[in-house]
């Protein structure tokens, strides 16, 4: 159901035929496995990490490059709370998507989306699309537009230097 919700959401924003569905998992697997399934370098996987928000029953969704890691101090300075990932049983309720398919599209109002600047070095990136077998290729400008113009933040550190593709 979440894939269909994401497809409808993306269709309303001009991306009706852009969702990629693969036989291999691109969500619950590692970033490397998702990259292999899509035929791209791992850093271009735009992983959506889900954290507890500052208010009860809220979530902070941070979309960052596949080779980026959350920098706890930056996260706390930016959001005013410690970086606590949602538990598996909270994910669908607070994000609208099952674990492995969390994406920055078609989320409930209590889930706020932020884009991490680690993505900006790439021409295009690949966020999930509502389940663990789907993704979409978008430029950062398209990602920003289809997610409703969320704030860009820097709450990550990049594990390795990767050239933009």
89 in any annotated domain? yes
Q: Is residue 15 domain-resident?
A: yes
How far apart, in whole angstroms, are the C-alpha atoms of residue 1 and residue 148?
22
Does residue 37 form part of some domain? yes
| Residue 164 domain flag | no
Sign of CA dihedral 24, 25, 26, 29: negative
Q: Is residue 165 part of a domain?
A: no
pLDDT band for 118, please (50, 70, 90 cuts).
very high
| Residue 76 to residue 81: CA distance in whole angstroms | 5
Predicted model pTM:
0.91
Domain span including residue 102: 2-158
Helix (H) or strand (E) holding 38: helix 31-38
Kindly tell me if the per-residue pLDDT of 105 is higher than 80. Answer: yes
For 48, phi then psi, to 5°, come to -105, 110
- Among residues 138, 61, 141, the alpha carbon closest in space to that of 94 is found at 61
List, for residues 32-90, the tens digit of each pLDDT value: 888 988 999 999 999 999 999 999 999 999 999 999 999 999 999 999 999 999 998 89
Domain presence at residue 146: yes
Task: Identify the DSSP state of 63.
Answer: E
Residues 132-165 pLDDT 10s: 888 999 999 999 999 998 899 999 999 754 444 4
Q: Where residue 110 sits, what CATH number does that domain have?
A: 3.90.960.10
Q: Which residue from 47, 12, 53 is spatially nearest to 148, judged by alpha carbons? A: 12
How many domains is the chain built from?
1
Residue 57 belongs to a domain: yes
Is residue 163 included in any domain, yes or no? no
């Amino acid at each position: 159901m979440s894939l269909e919700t994401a497809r409808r959401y993306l269709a309303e924003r001009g991306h009706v035929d852009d969702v990629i569905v693969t036989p291999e998992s691109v969500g619950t697997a590692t970033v490397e496995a998702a990259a292999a399934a899509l035929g791209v370098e791992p850093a271009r996987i735009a992983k959506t990490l889900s954290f507890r928000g500052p208010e009860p029953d809220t979530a902070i969704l941070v979309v960052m490059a596949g080779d980026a890691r959350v920098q706890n101090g930056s996260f706390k300075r930016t959001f005013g709370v410690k970086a606590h990932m949602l538990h598996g049983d909270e994910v669908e309720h607070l994000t609208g998507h099952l674990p492995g398919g969390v994406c920055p599209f078609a989320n409930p109002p209590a889930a706020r989306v932020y884009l991490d600047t680690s993505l900006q070095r790439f021409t295009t990136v690949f966020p999930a699309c509502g389940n663990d077998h789907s993704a979409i290729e978008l430029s950062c400008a398209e990602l920003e537009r289809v997610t409703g113009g969320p704030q860009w933040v820097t709450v990550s550190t990049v594990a390795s230097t990767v050239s933009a593709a």
